[in-house]
């Protein structure tokens, strides 16, 4: 009840939600009745969760932040949402995002701009900005986002919350609107590591509705954390930590660098073996990512034709319906990505762009594999700066893309990464949070949670 009141109270300033559930209060009262009656409760009974609006929900609209899907109501829940509901969670609403996940500030939503709760004149990050802001402003307890190139980790950093990007294929993508299918993963936000661990447990694991979803066992992330609390004073003794040199150099805010260096020293103090390491392919990630992501998007977004889903504009010839619906429904950034992707895939340019980018992707994967031979985890900033002002980068797509430098490599390699708040820089009424990114080998989310726990 308290959260739901707060959700409505601060929503006019933050604007995290594109849609708020009408039944959440009733569902919460039902849980209260079960508690009063002493009935046995499912693990997430009554936990209020926000869901990014590119994740399908059967009882609420799901627009992907795009006007082309205005009013669209899916006939099914995404697997992650279904599992949350089965565990007793209550979906409080659908959170704002950059259209189809394409952006880094949530200013690219087809509907509204979300404010950063730490400073209302700043962006919450993106594309899962609504999900991060909603947890940060305590409008819900936890939330789901999606991360194709950093969309969970960068907003977690900007909003001062915990954000988890699981290993690619750890969580079913069934019901997640496809942006770049070889990179997309559903992730989660919370205000503590324990919240994120519990949420990850519920949404992870094999799903026959997503043929790419991993069949691997899901460890009990939450339970492992509890047992940690009883350990000795140096729980990370001997853990090899690689601080990625390329992420603390030129172009990165001095305040961000010192917060991350302080975090590294803290780990060392706790018994970790700290190495500064180099990922030689680091700077190749950004161009490769934008070519591959746009290429996949240009194909994935062909399904929005005004016939099968959402808003139809024009009549008569089918080709005219396609043209008008897409011209009207998509925003400028999405159109630009479709054009870039179509160009990169076209005959005559394929070898120079798409194929080359795939080769770079293989190289990046190899560099991470080498680094992981000598290190248990890698650390870096989650973003080169703290949250910036609304409007600051909207006319400069390249500056916006450059802000993804810390996160995109991890998606290209398919690895899991966790962001935890590790300090502040000056700005806003109370300072602006800085996030530490912790990266592990595939399927080692448990390690990330263990290290992240130290920063709480
Ligand atoms: N900002 C990146 C992009 O626009 C990443 C977005 C995401 O992870 N969905 O592609």
Q: Residues lining ligand 1, CB < 6 A?
A: 101-104, 127, 146-151, 179, 293, 404
Tokens found for residue 239: 């853990």
For 237-257, write each residue's pLDDT tens digit: 999 999 999 999 999 999 999
Among 26, 178, 150, which residue's Cα sits nearest to residue 90?
26
Ligand 1 centroid to Cα of residue 104, in Å, is: 6
* pLDDT tens by residue, 17-59: 999 999 999 999 999 999 999 999 999 999 999 999 999 999 9
* Residues 198-225, mean pLDDT to the nearest whole number: 95
Query: Containing H/E element for 266?
Result: helix 254-269
Q: Which CATH class is domain 2-285+354-455?
A: alpha beta
Which atom of ligand 1 lies at the shortest distance from residue 289's CA?
10
User: Ligand 1 centre from 103 Cα, in Å?
Assistant: 5
- Most informative mutation of 66, 97, 104 for ligand 1 (most atoms within 8 A of CB): 104
Within 8 A by CB and 6+ apart from 233, the residues are none
Q: Which of 97, 100, 101, 123 is the pocket-test mutation for ligand 1 (most atoms within 8 Å of CB)?
A: 101
Domain ranges of the chain: 2-285+354-455
Residue 394 alpha carbon to ligand 1 centre in Å = 15
List own/partner pairs for 312-316 with CB under 8 A and 24 or more apart: none
Q: What is the pLDDT of residues 134-193, one digit of tens each?
A: 999 999 999 999 999 999 999 999 999 999 999 999 999 999 999 999 999 999 999 999
What are the catalytic residues? 52, 127, 151
Ligand 1 mutation pick, 149, 156, 181, 396, max ligand atoms within 8 A of CB = 149
Range 325-353 average pLDDT: 96
- ipTM score of the complex? 0.98
Closest C-alpha to 189, from 117, 122, 250, 254: 117
Residue 229: predicted pLDDT: 59
250 CB-near residues (< 8 Å, 6+ apart): none
- Kindly indicate the confidence band of residue 443, based on its pLDDT and cuts at 50, 70 and 90: very high
Full-model pTM:
0.97
- The two three-digit tokens of residue 208, written as one number: 């026959």
CA 361, chain centre distance (Å): 20
Report which ligand 1 atom has the smallest distance to the Cα of 128: 9
Q: How far is the CA of 400 from the centre of ligand 1 (A)?
A: 10
271 CA to centre of ligand 1 in angstroms: 35
Angle CA(74)–CA(92)–CA(416) in degrees, nearest 5? Answer: 80
β-bridge mates for residue 325, sequence order: none
| HSE-CB of 359 using CA atoms within 13 angstroms | 7
Model pLDDT, residue 309: 86
């Amino acid at each position: 009840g308290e959260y739901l009141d707060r959700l409505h109270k601060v929503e006019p300033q933050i604007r995290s939600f594109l849609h708020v559930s009408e039944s959440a209060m009733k569902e919460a009262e039902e849980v209260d009745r079960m508690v009063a009656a002493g009935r046995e409760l499912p693990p997430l009974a009554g936990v209020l969760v926000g869901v990014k609006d590119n994740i399908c929900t059967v009882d609420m609209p799901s627009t992907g932040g795009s006007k082309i899907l205005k009013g669209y109501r899916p006939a099914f829940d995404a697997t992650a949402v279904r599992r949350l509901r089965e565990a007793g969670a209550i979906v409080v609403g659908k959170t704002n995002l950059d259209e189809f996940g394409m952006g880094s500030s949530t200013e690219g939503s087809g509907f509204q701009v979300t404010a950063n709760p730490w400073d209302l004149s700043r962006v919450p990050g993106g594309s899962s900005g609504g999900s991060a802001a909603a947890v940060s402003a305590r409008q819900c307890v936890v939330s789901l986002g999606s991360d194709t190139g950093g969309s969970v980790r960068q907003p977690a950093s900007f909003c001062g919350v915990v954000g988890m990007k699981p290993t690619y294929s750890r969580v079913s993508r069934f019901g997640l609107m496809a942006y770049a299918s070889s990179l997309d993963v559903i992730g989660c936000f919370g205000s503590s590591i324990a919240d994120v661990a519990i949420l990850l447990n519920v949404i992870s694991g094999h799903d026959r509705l997503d043929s790419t979803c991993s069949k691997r066992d899901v460890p009990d992330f939450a339970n492992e954390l509890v047992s940690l609390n009883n350990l000795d004073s140096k729980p990370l003794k001997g853990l090899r930590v690689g601080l990625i040199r390329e992420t603390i150099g030129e172009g990165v805010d001095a305040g961000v660098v010192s917060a991350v260096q302080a975090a590294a020293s803290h780990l060392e103090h706790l018994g970790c073996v700290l190495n500064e390491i180099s990922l030689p392919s680091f700077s190749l990630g950004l161009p490769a990512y934008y070519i591959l992501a746009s290429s996949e998007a240009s194909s994935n977004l062909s399904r929005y034709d005004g016939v099968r889903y959402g808003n139809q504009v024009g009549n008569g010839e089918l080709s005219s319906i396609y043209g008008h619906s897409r011209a009207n429904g998509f925003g400028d950034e999405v159109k630009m990505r479709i054009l870039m992707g179509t160009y990169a895939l076209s005959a005559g340019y394929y070898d120079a762009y798409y194929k080359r980018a795939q080769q770079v992707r293989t190289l990046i994967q190899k560099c991470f594999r080498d680094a992981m031979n000598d290190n248990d985890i890698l650390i870096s900033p989650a973003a080169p700066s703290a949250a910036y002002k609304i409007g600051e980068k909207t006319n400069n797509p390249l500056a916006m893309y450059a802000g993804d430098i810390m996160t995109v490599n991890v998606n290209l390699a398919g690895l899991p990464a966790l962001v935890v708040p590790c300090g502040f820089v000056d700005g806003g009424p109370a300072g602006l949070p800085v996030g530490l990114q912790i990266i592990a080998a595939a399927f080692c989310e448990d390690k990330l949670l263990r290290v992240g726990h130290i920063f709480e």
